[in-house]
Chains A and B, each alone.
Chain A
């Protein structure tokens, strides 16, 4: 009841304006189309402005200055990072593969149980069986160190952000830029300052993957309720005690989520790191792709994907609190605990339980004997000390038996028989089959005629008209419209900033490229919306569909995009359409995820009330669920936009145009200024759209009283 009253109030208030505002917008759009057709050529900023504003030259002069003056110091930093990296890499490559597999497997078993154990076992075996063990180790070293350093530095910065509002305010735009600035822009110049190979790759990965951990540490600490902090203060805790004993432990779930995101983002840079001489899986993928070997590239990609999933699930398992079960239900090791009601599931789990008990018995006995011996030896000198150590060892029998196994492997490797690298005989590659599968699709007439129809429809009716519209529309009109939108949705201050940012893009003489980028992003986002929202609705109604969906979305986000680019090109041909397709594949997951989240978050009471009043499923969806899910949808839209912008730097590799191509053109000519101007252009457009859509979310939330 209250809901309907609210909406009727809203509509009556705006009924007088309801005709004027849409009318004005419609007129403005008509005028803009007319204006676009008036232009003889694409709209550009006046030459006297672009000639006077030599941003490119300033940047290049600055770069030369830095090259002459700070190279000594940056090389020193890089030297330290490189030493660390080589140490880790040598360790991973020189150890026997069984040792490394055990080193990954034992903690997984400890935290995630047999389920995670199986996943890790499969992952490590897979690296070896496709013959990419050494590359996987190199990537593991690179990623491990990047993530470790990102988390170490990120948590500290996040704490500073949480403690000081001023620091947070200054940090925010920096974080935005770090996330949206295409890594290519700083990757090549970084090489001069930090050398080639692991060190600059790690530092560049840190720039890209640190923002989530900083943001989520800050958020986690700030979300600790004031009452908790006050209580701690009342009990006489000092500031540092509150921070380390109260705030950080309570923020841990949030921080762990940041770690997960950092891992995902770090792995996204694996392939790019190849461009500055970092070895590993990325380099294998790139070399395969260069030879058009689809199967081999996909195998490398799956190695990266498995690594990401392993890291991700391990992080989740390690940060999850143990679930206590009611005493009458059997603990499940492999199947979902909810299946406890099915007798068959219980039967399947029974042997696993027995195996677990048997292993637990054997290992705890061994450890008990070990600790007993240790105890009796030490007790000869100091009785208390000995029993304390024995107790400690008995309490951590899992850890110590793991340690024993690892030492056993090292001993076996060194003294009995060298294990060495993964045996070649276990090779189980399917690259030929994948390549053959892709090839049969390439020559399949029906499939190709479908791809050709889609391509020509999208190119002729969407891409070309929209590109034309945005590039031929006079720049002053576009700037005016965007400034007006920012003013109405955010405020006058942001409107002024928007004007300045857009003027910067124009003055750098990259207005046309910026409009092409904007057009590609908007069309990709539109298509993501049209495709993603229905999938999200479907997934929110069917649990099984949602489960499959989750796996595919994970794969879409972590599989290096280079892996699927070659098949896409073979099916659709290079150019704007393939660029669009790659952008959609990469940036559709958030909109699907947040649609599901938004719809399933709507409290069931609302839909039940609606049903009891006789509303159909569609009515409930349309009138109740959707309006309430709007903030979540807008959030998904916002993230999709950000990812679509980020993808603009990759699409030039398959024929995309716009600012991304400008970055490559700059880099190809050693012109850092030109590349940087274009990179900043992408950032600025992304920031403007981000701010506007966030403001919309906030308005919607306020209107709904959330």
Chain B
């Protein structure tokens, strides 16, 4: 009896304290941003947020959001107004949801014909993917020139799972469509691609192997914070060549070794994407004008990645430092 009365009164106390609270103030120029969950994307997003808030007078609510289809759905549904730095090679949702041309530096780099539930403009960051080996491996083996030498050293890359073959810590997420195994087979590299499910898993294994000084072959992309801490060397895959017949519709019928996926990756013109309905409102016209002009550069992001990764700055501090040191962003203002 005593206990229950105690609990009841306590509940009443808590509830009554709620009533004291005031509601948030309304703001017309208010946007909700998804902040990416990897450092590079976080930086790109923070650059956009800083300019929207400090120069254009918006109030931006930041939500940390794991990248993936969920994010695209959330934008299409109108729960999030915009997100930053999506990599077209890794997002299948872009084909389904974007219905416009992607323009970079005045040129159309990609045409989309989806349902138009999401709009996108390039962010300026151009991603490049490759396979990498640690620099100490290349130093210890001067014979190793590029990917065609991988077979000679495959024993050093072998693990219990792969048996006599070498192991590639491959593109981790199936939805990214990297076709690692297909590429290895077409190029005649006697390696097995391991798909570890998440970027974290791939990086954790690679970091462990790097710390021990072991040989390993890692799929990765630039710019990336991993390169700030660890010295890696690309294996120089053949240059990207487009192949018409290689689509999911024809069950990934290959084009031989002349074209993708036997080559390296195409340039990834990354994009900021947003809900068209929200962005068409008059108060958001300035934001759209800014997104159309934004051109954040790889070198700047790489520098900031080092500041965050090695020097221990927060993402906000790194962006503020960059913003004070350059006038570059002034050209992006509407």
Contacts and interface: CB of A to CB of B under 8 A. Distances in A.
Q: Is the interface of B mostly helix, strand, loop or mixed?
A: helix
Nearest to A106: B10
A291 interface: yes
Interface in A371-406: 396, 399, 403, 406
A615 interface: no
A665 B174 contact: yes
Interface in B200-235: 200-205, 207-209, 211-212, 225
B73 A570 contact: no
A91 B17 contact: yes
Residue of B66, B201, B205 with most chain A CB atoms under a 10 A cut-off: B201
A665 B207 CA distance: 26
A574 B194 contact: yes
B334 interface: no
Interface in B156-203: 159-161, 169, 173-176, 194-203
Contact of B201 (A88, A274, A565, A670): A565
Given A90-B21, A574-B204, A656-B197, A448 B66 contact: no
B197 A654 contact: yes
B63 A442 contact: no
A196 B196 CA distance: 27
Given A569-B205, A654-B201, A287 B6 contact: no
A171 interface: no
Contacts of A103: 14
Interface stretch (A15-23, A237-245, A276-284, A597-605): A276-284
B197 A652 contact: yes
A290 to B, nearest CB: 6
A669 B69 contact: yes
B64 A283 contact: yes
A297 to B, nearest CB: 10
A291 B211 contact: no
Interface stretch (A25-33, A187-195, A510-518, A527-535): A187-195
A277 B63 contact: yes
Contact of A576 (B66, B96, B161): B161
Nearest to A574: B196
Given A110-B6, A653-B198, A654-B198, A191 B73 contact: yes
Interface stretch (B33-41, B49-57, B295-303): B33-41
Contacts of A654: 196-198, 201
Nearest to A144: B14
B175 A286 contact: no
B126 interface: no
Contacts of A87: 18, 21
Contacts of A573: 159, 205, 208-209
Interface in A251-299: 274-277, 279, 283, 286-287, 289-292
B74 interface: yes
A467 B194 CA distance: 16
A577 B167 CA distance: 15
Q: Is the interface of A mostly helix, strand, loop or mixed?
A: helix
Interface stretch (A123-131, A455-463, A681-689): A455-463
A668 B175 contact: yes
Contacts of B38: 290
A91 B69 contact: no
A661 B174 contact: yes
Nearest to B76: A192
Given A276-B70, A459-B160, A570-B207, A290 B199 contact: yes
B159 A448 contact: no
A192 B174 contact: no
A571 interface: yes
Interface string A88-126: 101100110000000100010011000000000000000
A287 B14 CA distance: 32
A627 interface: no
B70 A197 contact: no
B237 interface: no
A95 to B, nearest CB: 8
Contact of A279 (B39, B63, B92, B176): B63
A566 B96 CA distance: 34
Nearest to B80: A196
B153 interface: no
A396 B73 CA distance: 53
Nearest to A86: B24
A488 interface: no
Contact of B169 (A111, A192, A318, A574): A574
Nearest to A460: B160
A439 interface: yes
B63 A653 contact: no
A497 interface: no
Nearest to A464: B161
B73 A399 contact: no
Interface string A553-575: 00000000000011001110111
Contacts of A152: none
Contacts of B326: none
B312 to A, nearest CB: 11
Contact of A292 (B14, B66, B197, B207): B207
A196 B160 contact: no
26 contacts: A87-B21, A91-B18, A195-B77, A196-B65, A196-B79, A277-B64, A279-B64, A290-B200, A396-B6, A399-B6, A399-B9, A406-B13, A442-B208, A460-B160, A574-B196, A574-B201, A574-B204, A575-B194, A576-B161, A577-B160, A651-B197, A654-B198, A654-B201, A655-B196, A664-B174, A667-B69
Closest 9 CB pairs between A and B?
Answer: A668-B175, A570-B208, A456-B160, A569-B204, A574-B196, A655-B196, A459-B160, A652-B197, A654-B201
Interface of A: 87-88, 90-91, 94-95, 103, 107, 110-111, 187-188, 191-192, 195-197, 274-277, 279, 283, 286-287, 289-292, 318, 396, 399, 403, 406, 439, 442-443, 448, 455-456, 459-460, 565-566, 569-571, 573-578, 651-656, 661, 664-665, 667-670
